[in-house]
Amino acid sequence: MKLILTVLIFTFLSAGKVCSQTYRSTFTTTDRNIDIEKLADPKVIFLYDDFVEAKVYQRGKVSDAEINYRLLTDEVIIRTDHPGTIKSLYGNNLDSLITQDNRLIVFVPEIGFAEKIRTQTSRYFIKYQTNHLMTEMKPGAYGVSSPTSSTQPVRNIATDGAYAAGGSNYIHLENTTGNEVQVILTSKPNFMIYYQEQYQSASNRRELVRVLPGNYRSDINSFIRSENISFDNRDDLIKLAGFLDQLDY
């Protein structure tokens, strides 16, 4: 196996801290069955760099648990009382959970697990996710490989056995090319608004002003510029939600 790993980190994470900004993990490999959890940086796979304590509200009951969130598979996992045993927390059984750093995580059938931003209207969410791209490498000048613009079909990321079943739980991609491939994993917080009975994504300023009524466009643009709002930064998205919540739409 040939492996080159590059990680571009735009935020520092100490123990138990959540990813707040965009970053990317890139590697190349010739493996046919690519073990993502082994080859990629953990911070593009998990929301936290370790399990964190949380209050879990489930079917009217409250319990303490250690949880983490798998970005690639949209899955909350819980460390059980049995050493070395982890299980999945299924969304349809979850009311909500509050992590030790006071994040309110809910399950929304239309979008999966997301952080609900606390506002009066309760219509703003941050969806943490990691996107992946796999590209076949082609020999170029002087024998140096580079990504080709034409990609081979890539199967959806899957898990080898479910946590609840106690299987081997690595996340993998299948390399159908039989050649060297480059895998790019990009993780970022995604701002979402519940508006007109839909969950709508706004990953930048232009998308946001298209989603909301046009008569607020000038106000929104002015606020984003004056506050230097970054759609890749969780704290900025919370500040933006607070501003939007004051608008009458």
Tell me how crowded residue 57 is: count the other CB atoms within 10 A of its CB. 16
pLDDT tens per residue, range 22-55: 889 999 999 998 888 889 998 898 999 899 999 9
What are the Cα distances from residue 247, in Å, to 101, 142, 212, 213, 240? 28, 59, 10, 10, 11
215 belongs to a structural domain: no
Examine residue 145 and state whether it is found in any structural domain, yes or no.
yes
The whole-number pLDDT of residue 13 equals: 33
Determine, yes or no, domain membership for 185: yes
Helices (H), strands (E): how many in the chain? 4, 16
Buried b (16+ CB within 10 A) or exposed e, 166-186: eeebebbbbbebeebbbbbbb
Q: Which domain holds residue 69?
A: 4-203
**What share of the chain has pLDDT > 90, as a percent?**
45
Secondary element (H or E) of residue 115: strand 112-116
pLDDT over threshold 60, residue 132: yes
For the cut 60, the answer to whether the pLDDT of residue 96 exceeds it is yes
In a domain, 159, yes or no: yes
Q: Which residues contact 192 (CB under 8 A, 6 or more apart)?
A: 111, 114, 124, 125, 126, 127, 199, 200, 201, 202
**Domain annotation covers residue 243:** no
Q: Is the dihedral of CA 242, 244, 247, 249 positive or negative?
A: negative
> Does residue 139 sit within a domain?
yes
What are the beta bridge partners of residue 125?
Answer: 116, 192
Averaged over 7-24, what is the pLDDT? 47
In this predicted structure, the answer to whether residue 10 has a pLDDT above a threshold of 50 is no
pLDDT of 223 above 80: yes
Query: Is residue 222 in a domain?
Result: no
Q: What is the pLDDT of residues 226-237, one digit of tens each?
A: 999 999 999 999
Domain assignment present for residue 91? The answer is yes
Number of domains making up the chain: 1
Is the pLDDT reported for residue 142 higher than 70? Answer: no
How far is C-alpha 225 from the chain's CA centre? 26
Band of the pLDDT at 145, cuts 50, 70, 90?
A: low
pLDDT higher than threshold 50 for residue 157: no
